[in-house]
Amino acid sequence: MDSAHKTRLSLDPAAIKGRGSASYVAGRYAVTTAQAQDDGWGSVYEDADAQSRPDTVVTEERARSIISRNDSPDIAFGQSVNPYRGCEHGCVYCFARPSHAYLELSPGLDFETRLFAKTNAAERLQNELARPGYRCAPIALGINTDSYQPIERRYRITRGVIEVLDACSHPFSLITKNASVVRDVEVLASMAQRGLVSVYFSVTTLDNHLSAKMEPRASAPHSRLKAMRTLADAGVPVGVMVAPVIPMINDSEMERILAAAYEAGARSAGYVTLRLPHELKQVWREWLQLHYPDRAAHVMSLIQQMQGGKDYNAGFGKRMRGEGPFAQLIQQRFHKAWRKHGFGRLPPLDTGRFVAPRKPTPQLELF
């Protein structure tokens, strides 16, 4: 059932402790799907029991390239590095889930249980920065999936990437939901003194119970705020992203999140509304029906009002903030709280200090 052109066995969705998705939602490139049916021998129940406790499996891979580039007018950075594919945080709303369909895996449970670690990321980054035609521009670290997700404790790929950036004074920013970023506070503080780094924390809710349902393996909200304070006290420029803002789920918390983040040292703030590209529509609807069946229809109605009558509008200028009266209300509330607390912009990152690393050669490696 797990061959290249099939999805995993599909069972009736049920909430799974420690996981955001409730099922193996079929990817858009899957040729066939499989539906569980009892054959009288009880095997369907064995399959169901295995699905109720899916283990995390990490595949090590060697990346052919590591710097990704984009020219989207909705995104503030031009290049990024992602040390991992898939994310164990299991955030049910994650816009990156559909990327697992390219691997012929499910954007549902596979996205958070079948992960890929780019073990040569630091090596590839050093080689790409050493190319004669490279022009220094800030790198955004871990945009597609979180660079500090739990498996970073074992693989330390993100740490290796940061060490390469530090050695050649290359500026970067990162956004995370994991308090384990404080492990690297010393190198981040050193780079901050040279204007080379800024760190954003994504805070979706201050409610531990909601966080456990919606982003089950991310750090608890209070842990993120504590990490924010640790970095800010060390001199690292810190910001907060209220993301995503979801009508009737967490939108009422926006002002409280901004107030708590400012108190913890954040000096810049932003927000994005819920995005539901491709298979994420089904992942989200399943979660909503399982956890909030009484308001699921109302939540989807408000989301569609913000997306031009659809679950998702991919148009530039609309996909991040939505449109219509409810989207305008969220924007007004955000700006009012932003002004009240005195948020601003973080200092610009310095590209003038960059010194291209020396590209490794077989001869030099002999010494």
Per-position pLDDT tens, the chain of length 367: 444 444 455 556 788 999 999 999 998 887 655 554 445 544 444 454 555 679 999 999 999 999 999 877 667 788 999 999 999 999 999 999 999 999 999 999 999 999 999 999 999 999 999 999 999 999 999 889 999 999 999 999 999 999 999 999 999 999 999 999 999 999 999 999 999 999 999 999 999 999 999 999 999 999 999 999 999 999 999 999 999 999 999 999 999 999 999 999 999 999 999 999 999 999 999 999 999 999 999 999 999 999 999 999 888 777 789 999 999 999 999 999 999 999 999 999 999 999 999 876 655 445 4
CB 35 within 8 A of CB 24: no
Task: List, as one string, the DSSP characters of 192-215.
Answer: HHTT-EEEEEE---S-HHHHHHHS
Q: CB neighbours (10 Å) of residue 206?
A: 19
* Whole-angstrom Cα Rg for the chain: 21
- Only one residue has tokens 């960059």, namely 354
Query: Which residues fall within 8 angstroms of residue 317, CB to CB, at 6 or more apart?
Result: 73, 74
The residues pairing with 173 across neighbouring beta strands, listed in sequence order, are 140, 198
